[in-house]
Homo-oligomer: A and B are copies of this chain.
Amino acid sequence: MLVMPPNKVMTAAEAVARFVHPGNVLGMGGQNIGRCPMALTHEIIRQRVGGLTVVGCNLSLSMDQLAAAGLIRRTECGTGNLERFGTTFSWRRGIENGTIEIEDYSHLAMVSRFLAGEMGLPFMPVRSLLGSDILWAPDGAPKPGKAVITENPWDPAERVVLVRALQPDVSIVHAQRADAVGNVIIEGFATHEPEMMRASQHVIVSCEELVTTDEIRAHPERTTIPFMYVHAVVVQRYGAFPTSTYAYYDYDGGQIGAYQDAARTGSPAIDEYLRRHVWGCGTFDDHLHLATDADRLTTLTHAMQELM
């Protein structure tokens, strides 16, 4: 029996302490420079929850900071990169020096795995990956357990790949709005998040605004994810900074660039970045104080409003 607690609102510190554990499979929300769950990521780093398997489609800034902090054992994803801002340097370094295991998929294959997970199915067919090296292990041998090539029983000439369901232990997502019982509204693009959230055993949502359940009930067609899937709601204005939150604020290229400069060079610059911006901050608001100011945040807000 799933109980509906009347109030799932808690601090990021409480949410991470309760729901993110060493060795977890962590589903990562956001994409590239959009809606990365930075406040929740910082809290995981602050609590040094390690040995994580980070899963998602595109993994970018939040994943790379976890990698920089040495908390990632493995990733399963479609890409790691930040497009115009370069690659995810800490992740790349971890893969190249052997501290991070990787399992590559295409974006569609990853979302198909979440689709199987959210529907309670053990696998999902997909017609991508055929003929590619993604199907195989790094040594070129068939990789047992990753994917199975099978025939269409109704047309044996047709082949499909079966990929295995993925149900993260916990997913972290930054959304625009949520209510206290955990109904979540994602505005604009939603990437792989709906499937991933519904597939997860636990979901922590940070949000720009807490709305009343009456507001949720007034527009039930706007609810992206109903409360059953969500275990903690963390109210954090600018919780995706320096990435953007659609309809709220644009990304901050300067701050993303500052992180990338440190990540590109590696130690000690990256350790110093994390020390100042994460471990040196008691909360994400402290980080915002350090990394930006009210004028800049207003500018980012206006930049987004101008695009609406």
Contacts and interface: CB of A to CB of B under 8 A. Distances in A.
A123 B160 CA distance: 10
Nearest to A190: B221
Interface in A139-167: 145, 148, 150, 152-155, 158, 160, 162, 164
A28 interface: no
B164 A123 contact: no
A160 B125 contact: no
A289 interface: no
B123 A127 contact: no
A123 B127 CA distance: 11
A154 B164 CA distance: 8
Identical subunits present: 2
Given A187-B221, A221-B188, A154 B121 contact: no
A1 B132 CA distance: 26
A5 interface: no
A118 to B, nearest CB: 12
A110 to B, nearest CB: 14
A280 interface: no
Contacts of A150: 153
A187 to B, nearest CB: 6
20 contacts: A116-B125, A120-B127, A121-B126, A121-B160, A122-B152, A122-B155, A122-B158, A122-B160, A123-B125, A123-B152, A123-B153, A124-B125, A145-B154, A148-B153, A150-B153, A153-B162, A154-B164, A187-B221, A188-B220, A188-B221
Q: Give 4 closest A-B pairs by Cβ, nearest first.
A: A122-B152, A148-B153, A121-B125, A154-B164
